[in-house]
Amino acid sequence: MKIYKTKLLLVFLLLISTSILKAQDFSSVKSIAERRVPWLVKSLRFSKIVASEKDVFELSSDGKEVFIGATNASAAAQGLGWYLKYYCNRSLSHMGSNLSVVSKLPIIKDKVRISSPYQYRYALNYCTINYSFSFYTWEDWEKELDWMALSGVNIMLAPMGTELVWYNTLIKLGYSDKDAKSFIPGPAFTAWWLMGNLEGWGGPNSLQLMQLQANIQKKLLSRMKELQIEPVLQGFYGMVPHDLNKKVNALKDVEIIDQGKWVFTEFTRPAILAPTNDKFNTVADIYYSELKKLYGTDIKFFGGEPFHEGGKKSGVDITAVAKNVQDVMQKNFPNSTWVLQGWQNNPADALLAGLKKENTLIIELFGENTANWEQRKGYGGTNFIWSNVSNFGEKNGLYGRLQRFLDEVYKAKHSPYGNYLKGVGIIPEGLNNNPVAYDLMLDIAWRNDKPSLEKWIVDYTTYRYGSYNQDVVDAWKIFIKTVYSSPIDQKGKILYQEGPSESIYCARPSLKVNPVSSWGTRKRNYDIKLFKQAVALFTKADKQFKNSETYRTDKTDFLRQVMADKGDVAYDELVKAIQTKDKMLIKEKGSRFLTMILQQDSLLNNNHYFSLNRWLNQATALGKGLPDAKNILYNAKAQITFWGPDNNPKTTLRDYAHKEWGGLLSSLYYNRWKLFIDDAINDKITSASTFYDMEVEWSRESNLYPPKKITESKLLSIQKKILE
């Protein structure tokens, strides 16, 4: 028996040592290099280091080998990303990559040691899951996680695959297949379902689609574990179908809190199963049981919260609700953390009063405009992460209050509530825009002292485009004073603005377009002429960076913004012509405006990052071989146009996620404006319902709008006209 125990101990120790060695060889980080920079792989040498700080990496190089020491895989990946950016002038991004071979590896004689002052480096908004990732395949997610890891992210919202959890839960509760599917939205609208805003819209989904998404999620969670990125999965906070007590006999007497409508009268919200009801734990336990079966028992973070963006809570004991939600979460996943959104008045003080602070984490969402962390005294002594939304609906537009990011983070760090600041993060509604904003925020996570923005921009442009260029640097120094500035009002307070300034070309036509979407803005809080001069300066580097994807992508975006700025002037002239009822003048101004739309379309179609076809191809690829294929494509088109629902011409959600993309400009947007102008010539104002019908009809078509690319000479001709 003693010999048997000794052998068992040896086997146990061997397994532990093997596990430790596997963790220490950082093979997951080396795999990132194999995928993104294969030319560097043979030179990389990773090692485990022990440090008093949580996350540390060390860099050194003799020009032949690159040594990266790190405390864990997340720090090692950040170390690799740091080496690529600040020594090799190479980078990966959502809007182009600069990862070509470095002819001669740089030498780092004196070891560089960098530690993160924060426990968490956070990423993603619920809305990002749909505005950026709705139709991601595993290959897309693999690249996404590589970017996250190289950027040092170690906690990420990851509620993908919750559809199958809910389907299985409802079936267990006694729902029919049809009724269970009617609760779950289509693949482009899951975010607002998870937040308790709507149910069913865009669906139903086939079981095959839900299983496909669940399988992708399993791969995602496995890779995140290897990279030591903690996932935030969807917790059970009481959200149930609004008709739960009518569909399940065993729950017919259960108390549910009706949540009314979301966005005025447009969508029926899911109900909230009263957490103080004795059936709450029954439903919650089934939900968590199904989640464990699919995604494991080692989840440490959960999102989701009741009464998001409104909801009815009159007469409800919010403190008791919070306590019971957290208690059942802790019962199923001991010592897990509930992640809440610091948005508007959320989370309410009454809700926070019912929580264990050590198991609660708040994401300060809207840091570019508000300072809830300060006004609410560190959320009553609750751990929080400072972040900013910056982008709404993944609308195109140059925007990001870079100096504000720096100032607020370091202000919070050195404030009386600094002990509760546990991290920084990015929480845009869409990621395919403004890479500078995301790079800066995640870079801050590794700097104890506030860097100079002008100095940082020099480094950024060098690694973004591959080498230093004075014209580019000078242009960017103007950009941070214009489109990327942090303007203040006459009282010295930050000038409120929700996301980038919108483009008139994308607007549903009228004589008074302001804003393009219901909660957006057309106002330019920057010097338009100065910005245009900076773009002209930037283009002087065309020859040096003619083969640079990142340079060409940014140039397209800058030119797009100049052209959008010009559109405002052309629109004002068109409106004045219509008001004078001068048919010839309307034709003249209308023709010019339509020509500008097509010119913008040609510019954007030459870069796939600004192409409608890219988005639609993603939807098509996800739906291939599935019975949902047609509906998935419809989801893709509906989201970026009328949004929903498809029976309310007065919907305030229309154009919320509009895109200034090649293919969309020359089809729906052009046709809307042409009809408006033609009607104006005939002394008629086109009704909003007519445009709504056009949007729904466009969304139901199967056209993928393959880009019509133009020659380089024609592209340069457009560039010249834009900068005139």
Write the DSSP string, 85-140.
HHTT--B--TT--B-PPPSSPPPEEEEEEEE-S-SEEEE--TTHHHHTTTT--HHH
The answer, yes or no, to whether the previous bond of 204 is cis (omega within 30 of 0) is yes
**What is the rounded (10 degree) CA torsion for 520, 522, 523, 528?**
130
Beta strands 56-61 and 44-48, pairing class:
unpaired
348-375 pLDDT, tens digit each = 999 999 999 999 999 999 999 999 999 9
Domains 22-115 and 504-722 share a fold: no
In this prediction, residues 275-286 reach a mean pLDDT of 90
Confidence at residue 106, expressed as pLDDT on a 0 to 100 scale: 97
The pLDDT confidence band at residue 345, using thresholds 50, 70 and 90, is confident
The pLDDT confidence band at residue 579, using thresholds 50, 70 and 90, is very high
Weakest mean pLDDT among 107-111, 308-312, 647-651? 308-312
Confidence at residue 12, expressed as pLDDT on a 0 to 100 scale: 47
What architecture is domain 504-722?
Up-down Bundle (1.20)
Q: Is the pLDDT of residue 11 over 70?
A: no
Confidence at residue 3, expressed as pLDDT on a 0 to 100 scale: 52
In this prediction, residues 128-157 reach a mean pLDDT of 98
Q: Is the pLDDT of residue 13 over 60?
A: no
Confidence at residue 66, expressed as pLDDT on a 0 to 100 scale: 98
| Cα 311 to Cα 246: distance, rounded to the nearest angstrom | 21
561-573 pLDDT, tens digit each = 999 999 999 999 9
Query: Mean pLDDT, the chain, as a whole number?
Result: 94
Confidence at residue 278, expressed as pLDDT on a 0 to 100 scale: 84
| Cα 31 to Cα 38: distance, rounded to the nearest angstrom | 9
Q: Is the pLDDT of residue 52 over 60?
A: yes
Beta strands 66-70 and 44-48, pairing class:
parallel
| Of 33 and 277, the one with more pLDDT | 33
| Cα 43 to Cα 64: distance, rounded to the nearest angstrom | 6
Confidence at residue 21, expressed as pLDDT on a 0 to 100 scale: 39
Q: Is the pLDDT of residue 99 over 60?
A: yes
- Three-state DSSP class for 306? coil
User: Could you give the angle at which helices 583-605 and 670-681 cross, rounded to 10 degrees?
Assistant: 170
What pairs with residue 70 in β-bridges?
48, 57
623-642 pLDDT, tens digit each = 999 999 999 999 999 999 99
Confidence at residue 24, expressed as pLDDT on a 0 to 100 scale: 57
538-551 pLDDT, tens digit each = 999 999 999 999 99
Could you tell me the two tokens for 441? 């925020």
Confidence at residue 490, expressed as pLDDT on a 0 to 100 scale: 86
| Cα 615 to Cα 242: distance, rounded to the nearest angstrom | 33
Q: Which of 279, 35, 55, 250 is nearest to 139 (CA)?
A: 35
Helix ranges (DSSP H) in 539-611: 549-580, 583-605
Mapping DSSP onto H, E and C, the string for 236-296 reads CCCEECCCHHHHCHHHCCCCEECCCEECCCCEECCEEECCCCCCHHHHHHHHHHHHHHHHC
Distances (CA, A) of 434 to 143, 394, 401, 459: 18, 10, 11, 16
Confidence at residue 14, expressed as pLDDT on a 0 to 100 scale: 45
Angle at 709 between CA 708 and CA 715, to 5 degrees: 135
Q: Is the pLDDT of residue 526 over 50?
A: yes
In this prediction, residues 378-389 reach a mean pLDDT of 96
Q: Is the pLDDT of residue 398 over 80?
A: yes
What number of residues does the chain have? 724
Kindly state the percentage of the chain with pLDDT values over 70. Answer: 97
Q: Is the pLDDT of residue 23 over 60?
A: no
Q: Does domain 22-115 have CATH number 1.10.3720.10?
A: no
Angle at 650 between CA 645 and CA 655, to 5 degrees: 70
**For the chain, which residues make up each domain, given as ranges?**
22-115, 504-722
| Cα 540 to Cα 567: distance, rounded to the nearest angstrom | 24
Weakest mean pLDDT among 272-281, 336-345, 373-382, 477-486? 272-281
User: Could you give the angle at which helices 207-227 and 280-295 cross, rounded to 10 degrees?
Assistant: 70
Confidence at residue 22, expressed as pLDDT on a 0 to 100 scale: 43
Contact assessment for residue 331 and residue 302, using Cβ atoms and an 8 Å cutoff: no
